[in-house]
Chain A
């Protein structure tokens, strides 16, 4: 089936098999490798992208479901995303980096909706992304410092 998606501001049109997962479409068909396959079971959130502004797990969606939608990955750049990336860098909010794409996108979605979240809201906002290095403390600190 032929689908069209806008990823980080660029429209792509491709033929896909209906069973192709969105994460494989982004990684293999479009070459966007910042989107990770972590657990492959819909738990870890490493494959998180923003679909029409909403955080979703791209390993748990079919590419055909995203037809006509706008997608944002960790490669996206705007003022808020740059602020978050800088904060993650300054606060040492990553060790191995595998969850970082998901963390950036989950926190981007959170700050878009709630520019001044409480610590509890931050923790809830990133609850769908698992980090196995940091104990979350520095990630929460980074998001706090990136908030307005």
Chain B
């Protein structure tokens, strides 16, 4: 399959990329291309211009920042897989994305901007309360993950804006990402990221976020309510599973029926909390 023709601009700076994007409403950003190129080949999209930001080395980093992390938009899944610092949920999640070849090239910023409703990173950044930094014609805008995802393949990014950094304010002491899929390299039927803070044998605070079980990644606020402040026990895991299943609104597609996704949202939530707590 051959992509449709397009103009190609290789950006040598973020500003140059923003300018090229701002001038043309039908231009698209090319980062790693692991989501965009398959769509081009299927002719599902036909951008007038691709603005290639893949060579902007200044956007390729993962580093500690205060109690959290700053991740450059062009950090690849493979680079995050090898990250050995705080926020160990990042390598845990990265390992579950696609396969080694996809992970060599695909980027976290690209994945978030693409906003596939079954992608893995969106659930993880929601659970980590991350902020997406976007650079546009009028400078840098900080968009909380909660506001970033608006629907299938739809984000809060405006014309000419590029994701430049993902900022995680504080790494949770315990976190895990569990993905249930048909095959090793497939998209999630359900994926749940859990961040848990424990105090005196009880759940002091918790953030749960799910992917693959709705039109966009969602916080599982009812499941969080079910466990926040509770003593850690087996019953807790049962309740988190039930609450998560009840509150998601999945749709049926080629991968799974809505009913099965609903059931798997509960299973993924239970496993994610269990794994985060080390039970």
| A-to-B contact residues, CB < 8 Å | 1, 17-19, 21, 24, 40-43, 45, 48, 51, 54-57, 59-62, 64-65, 106, 109-110, 124-125, 127-128
Contacts and interface: CB of A to CB of B under 8 A. Distances in A.
Contacts of A109: 100
B8 A56 contact: no
Most buried by B among A18, A43, A59: A18
Of the four ranges (under 10, 10 to 19, 20 to 34, 35 or more), the interface on chain B belongs to 20 to 34
A31 B37 CA distance: 23
Interface string B205-232: 0000000000000000000000000000
Main secondary structure of the interface of A (DSSP, over half): mixed
A69 B2 CA distance: 22
Main secondary structure of the interface of B (DSSP, over half): mixed
Interface in B42-94: 50, 52, 54, 78
Given A42-B38, A64-B52, A57 B102 contact: yes
A54 B104 contact: yes
Given A42-B38, A127-B100, A65 B5 contact: no
B33 A61 contact: yes
Contacts of A40: 1, 41
A89 to B, nearest CB: 24
Given A51-B105, A60-B34, A128-B101, 16 more contacts: A1-B8, A19-B4, A19-B40, A21-B41, A24-B2, A41-B41, A42-B38, A45-B99, A55-B101, A56-B101, A59-B41, A60-B102, A62-B30, A64-B8, A64-B10, A106-B100
A55 B99 CA distance: 10
A128 B185 contact: yes
Contacts of A19: 2-6, 40
